[in-house]
Amino acid sequence: MPKPITPTLLIIPTGIGCSVGGYAGDAIPAARLLAAASGCLITHPNVMNGASLYWSDKRIQYVEGLGIDLFTSGKILLSPVRQQKVGVLFDKAIEPDLLERHIQVINACRATLGLNIGPIVTTDVPLKISLERGSSGSSWGEVGAPDSLLRAGDRLKEAGASALAIVTRFPDEFDKSQLDEYRKGRGVDALAGAEAVVSHLLVKHLCIPCAHAPAMSPLPMQRDLDPLTSAEEIGHTFLPSVLVGLSRAPSMVPIDTLIQSKVNNHTKLLSVDQLSAVVVPKGALGGGHLFCPALKKIFH
């Protein structure tokens, strides 16, 4: 008989300044180690996205943060796939030259990696993303036109996309001292909180895999950057890792759908009951998804 799958769940909260996972892709080595040790790792885009850099591993299941909440609460199962059809959602606020850089990424991923990308949709109005910083220092943000974001997501799903890459225009204005600290490896990612807001909205609305890449003007050249931040400096966009991650992201299967369909053979689906371990940073054990009844056996 085949050995039962006992996945490990790795969660590194976004935008709180974690020493591992607080930068673009710096948690990938830890994820690879856990995937090798467990044989199956469930984790989220904040862990695996390295801007222009990525690491594809069949043992790693790439699940957006709200999707992990739904999974750990028992509301969905995860269905591993060979390949997703990745639709791309662009913010109307992205300027033509910057948009062209992202189109080039899409074409490159199709030509060199064989990814199934399309259709592509642009929102009907600019999304007006704003960045904020909480009193704790954590980053967050707001979407000024959420209805436009959801309408574009609906169009992509109706056109056959089974996963969504979202590219929104982020502000270029930053607190210089905070940005300098971040580029030196000592600060909080100012973008991450707003990125989570965007992807959470679409996952909640569509129940398909989603991940976000910010569109921004290049930062001025700076020498002696911390290696943790270097992945964000070497390309024109953050989109490559998002497209690679989504290309094999597991589908989200609502438990209600299974009950209604009366399907009995769920052997290929991953459920929260199969989890053998949960790994989170010290001091970050506060998410509601970690206190659901199904995880009591792990924490006790």
Q: Pick the residue with more confidence: 203 or 290?
A: 203
Q: How would residue 2 be classed by pLDDT, with cut points 50, 70 and 90?
A: low
- Residue 140 confidence (pLDDT): 79
Say how far apart CA 252 and CA 206 lie, in whole Å: 10
- Among 119, 234, 231, 99, CA closest to 167: 99
> Is residue 297 pLDDT above 80, yes or no?
no
pLDDT at 1: 46
CA dihedral 188, 173, 244, 249 (to 10 degrees): 60
Mean of pLDDT over the chain: 88
The token pair that represents 77 in the structure block: 């199962």
Residue ranges of E strands in the chain? 8-10, 41-43, 60-62, 76-79, 86-90, 117-122, 129-133, 139-143, 163-169, 210-215, 251-254, 277-279
Model pLDDT for residues 160-192, shown as the tens digit of each residue: 999 999 999 998 877 666 767 777 777 777 787
More confident residue, 267 or 53: 53
Single pTM value for the model: 0.90
- Which tokens in the block code for residue 231? 């992945």
The token duo for 255 is: 């438990």
Predicted local distance difference test score (pLDDT) of residue 190: 74
pLDDT-derived band at 227 (thresholds 50, 70, 90) equals confident
| Rounded mean pLDDT, 125-138 | 84
Pairing of strands 251-254, 76-79: antiparallel
Predicted local confidence at residue 231, as pLDDT: 86
Segment 252-261, tens digit of pLDDT? 999 987 765 6
Specify the amino acid at residue 110: R
Mapped onto helix, strand or coil, the DSSP state of residue 208 is coil
206: pLDDT strictly greater than 90: yes
- Cα 110 from Cα 182, distance rounded (Å): 33
- Cα dihedral sign, 148-150-153-159: negative
The yes-or-no verdict on residue 65 having pLDDT over 80 is yes
Question: What is the rounded distance in angstroms from the CA atom of residue 297 to the CA atom of residue 115?
Answer: 39
Q: Name residue 234's amino acid.
A: I
Q: Quick one: pLDDT at residue 133? A: 77
68-93 residue pLDDT tens: 999 999 999 999 999 999 999 999 99
Question: What torsion do the CA atoms of 238, 191, 212, 275 make, to the nearest 10 degrees?
Answer: 110
